[in-house]
A and B are shown apart, each in its own frame.
Chain A
Amino acid sequence: MAETVRLELVTPVRQILSEDVDEVIAPGVEGDLGVLPDHAPLLTALRVGELAYRIKGKLEYVAIVGGGFLEVNNNRVIVLADDAELGHEIDLEEAVQRKLKAEAALERERKADEKTFKAVEIELMKELIRVQIAEKYKGAK
């Protein structure tokens, strides 16, 4: 019986995490899912959202911006994300600025065709997640 699971988070640009954690909570396309030690093998797509993991009883957050995949096998959780950012690396002020910008862009594109609008909407969603996560770390700093 394993005590922890190995969480590995990689993006095409860098390896972000490689740690032994107690629990992973990930934003799957079909709903959030939690992974505890000795989870059955699983492969799922991820949506833009918040990935949390518990390490020594403390919850840490990661912003998954850009979707990706999560694989669970043999007590290893491998997350392949298009882009991701550790919660404590996000600067709240900057995140809020970017969110405002994304909101303005959405307003501008309201009349644009559906495809561009969707793209802008997704951008806004990413920024919202970043702000959300940055706020969680606000007190800690």
Chain B
Amino acid sequence: MPGVMDIKRKIKSVKNTQKITKAMKMVSAARMRKAEEAMTNARAYANKIYELVGGIADRVEADSHPLLVARKEVKNVCLAIITSDKGLCGAFNSNVVKKTLAFARENQDKNIKLICIGKKSYDFLGKKEFEVLEKYVSFGGKITYDEANEIGDKLVAYFLSEDVDEVHIVHNEFKSTAFQVAKVTKVLPLVLEKQEAVADTTDYIYEPQAEALLKEIMPRYINFTVFFSILESIAGEHGSRMVAMDNAARNAGEVITKLTLTFNKARQSAITNEILDIVNGAEALNG
């Protein structure tokens, strides 16, 4: 049985841990609110640009732009992997990594190249046998549209230079605070979803022509997809961390209860022993 003092020390250390996890949970909650707000703000733009691209897609030939043309032979696939920079957020990052590895297993005939966004993806996958084209680390849980643009431009450049034949994004889709799903999304070549719903073929005036407009819109569409994916990932990261820290704080609470019980028992038996000693001593004197 451990000594009373040892248990006391242990309880203190667990309490400290609990304080930290509680604080981290609070911080994550605040950050997540911010990240969620950024996502909501971006959603207005998202809806519009998807609608626009969908609308235009109906009116142009499928091969009118190099970004739309599917390559006959897909040899090199680029995966843009979005994770967080920091750990302590449950299975958040490992889900993405697992998804990536599963994708690699399914596409063993293809050459897989990576673009790592977020430090954790590079830490995990950089050491594996994949070729890493680019890495973007330490943007500190924030992203500006310009930064996303830079990444998006790189993706397009790799695709156009035929270094890669397909580009996919692997990231955590934000379903809710406690629930994110790792997902692989194909971004290049672009697959334009024709919208049947917008059946009213309103005769739009295009300035310049639809093809030229599409050329303007598409890079933005891709950059925005990157931007939005990263926003989702950031919100998810904080959500996931919040849940992880909440669990940790609760576990710490349980451990403390158990330790306190042992501590009380130990203390009780120490007291009993002492009383026994005194009683025995008194008995001996009397006798």
Contacts and interface: CB of A to CB of B under 8 A. Distances in A.
Contacts of B212: 45
Contacts of A13: 38, 41-42, 145
Contacts of A111: none
A71 interface: yes
Contact of A78 (B48, B145, B208): B48
A49 to B, nearest CB: 15
A83 B145 contact: yes
Most chain-A CB neighbours within 10 Å: which of B55, B202, B204?
B204
B44 A10 contact: yes
A29 interface: yes
B202 A42 contact: no
Interface string B195-218: 000000011111110001100110
A34 interface: no
Contacts of A43: 52, 55-56, 204-207, 213
A89 interface: no
Contact of B216 (A69, A73, A78, A83): A69
B216 A45 contact: yes
B205 A40 contact: yes
Contacts of B216: 45, 67, 69
A46 B52 CA distance: 14
A14 B145 CA distance: 11
A114 interface: no
A37 interface: no
Q: Which bracket fits the contact residues of B?
A: 20 to 34
A41 B56 CA distance: 13
A30 to B, nearest CB: 5
Contacts of B42: 12-13
A79 B205 CA distance: 16
A41 B227 contact: no
Interface in B211-231: 212-213, 216-217, 220, 224, 227-228
Most chain-B CB neighbours within 10 Å: which of A14, A15, A43?
A43
A14 B41 contact: yes
Contacts of B227: 12
A44 B208 CA distance: 7
B207 A80 contact: no
Chain B interface, DSSP helix/strand/loop, else mixed: helix
Chain A interface, DSSP helix/strand/loop, else mixed: strand
B45 interface: yes
Contacts of A45: 207-208, 212-213, 216
B145 A80 contact: no
Most chain-B CB neighbours within 10 Å: which of A10, A33, A78?
A10
B7 interface: no
Given A15-B44, A69-B52, A69-B216, A44 B145 contact: no
B208 A29 contact: yes
A19 to B, nearest CB: 14
B248 interface: no
B49 interface: yes
B196 to A, nearest CB: 18
A30 B207 contact: yes
A11 B228 CA distance: 12
Nearest to B205: A42
A44 B220 contact: no
Given A12-B145, A71-B52, A83-B145, A44 B207 contact: yes
